[in-house]
Amino acid sequence: MDLVQFGFTPTETRVYLALLPISPATGYAVAQSAHLARANTYDALEGLAARGAVTRLPGRPVRFSALDPEALVLRLRREFTSGLDSLATALSRIQRAEPGPAPPAVESISDAALFVERVAACALDARSELLAVIGPWAAAAFAALEDAHTRVSTRVLSLGTPAPPGAAVREVAEREIETYWGGLPVALVADRRSAVCGVLLHDGRASGIATEHPGLIPFLRHLLRRELASAPMPRVS
């Protein structure tokens, strides 16, 4: 019999098994039978008595009686059944928290045509504000920017011509832009909730992202606002 798995210490198990065949017996006799120090034996007997596995008998010298194994098993079964019932009741009262919404994904885009499509979609989705830095290399998105210009507050900087209607223009040589950016840059933020940014590369490739992540949008919007406000620029019709 191993009582450790039922909450008894190894010493208590050893003392109970030593007492069982000589019960009732004194603490001294139990210590001799268990080959333990008397102090350890008496401590274990007290622990066993507290759990009902041992009974202290009246008289002098004090003797201890081990509970019959079948009776001990019944006692432990009742204790653990009651404990498990209480645990089940307590756990059933804990409402499992509903999983929160997953954080918005950041879509990585490596195809140039798909990247420009995302740029146009972001512009068409704008409902109150659109900030953008773009260039003639993304002319396929100009119609969407023009549509946004007729509906919402827009601030668009084109790094060259041709440019979207209503955009401010800053003429910069493409070679100079590519050297600085490692590609031809495009960045849009719509309504403080969605953004597309990255660079167009050669051979139909791009390196960009489309996102609604609330941790990225404020930073991208701040950078665009600084770029758009960096210098007065003429508007083109």
List, for residues 121-158, the tens digit of each pLDDT value.
999 999 999 999 999 999 999 999 999 999 999 999 99
Taking residues 75-98, report their average pLDDT.
80
Paired strand residues for 132: 156, 188
- The answer on pLDDT for 230 being more than 90 is no
Q: Taking Cα atoms as reference points, which of 46, 58, 49, 48 lies closest to residue 13?
A: 48
Rounded Cα gap, residues 145 and 158, in angstroms: 11
Query: Using a CB cutoff of 8 Å and minimum separation of 24, what contacts does 232-237 make?
Result: 233/157, 233/168, 233/169, 233/170, 234/168, 234/169, 235/166, 235/167, 235/168, 236/161, 236/163, 236/165, 236/166, 236/167, 236/168, 236/169, 237/165, 237/166
**How confident is the model at residue 235, as a pLDDT?**
47
Cβ-count burial 127-162 (b if 16+ within 10 Å, e if not): eebbbbbbbebbeebbebbbebbeeeebbbbbbbee
Rounded Cα gap, residues 66 and 20, in angstroms: 5
Rounded Cα gap, residues 237 and 217, in angstroms: 29
For 100, phi and psi rounded to 5 degrees? -75, 170
DSSP assignment letter at 192: T
Would you say the pTM of this structure is higher than 0.75? Answer: no
**Each residue of 99-130: pLDDT tens digit?**
667 666 899 999 999 999 999 999 999 999 99
Pairing of strands 153-158, 168-169: parallel
- The answer on pLDDT for 233 being more than 70 is no
**Each residue of 87-96: pLDDT tens digit?**
888 887 776 6
Taking residues 178-201, report their average pLDDT.
94
In one-letter notation, the amino acid at residue 113 is A
**How confident is the model at residue 237, as a pLDDT?**
38
What separation, in Å, do the N-terminal and C-terminal C-alpha atoms of the chain show? 94
Rounded Cα gap, residues 63 and 3, in angstroms: 22
**Each residue of 26-62: pLDDT tens digit?**
999 999 999 999 999 999 999 999 989 999 999 899 9
Q: Please, what is the average pLDDT of the chain?
A: 89
CB neighbours (10 Å) of residue 62?
A: 13
Q: Which residue has the higher pLDDT, 159 or 231?
A: 159
Q: Which domains occur in the chain, in start order?
A: 4-89 (1.10.10.10), 106-228 (3.30.870.10)
Query: Could you give the maximum distance between any two Cα atoms of the chain, in Å?
Result: 112
Helix (H) or strand (E) holding 189: strand 184-190
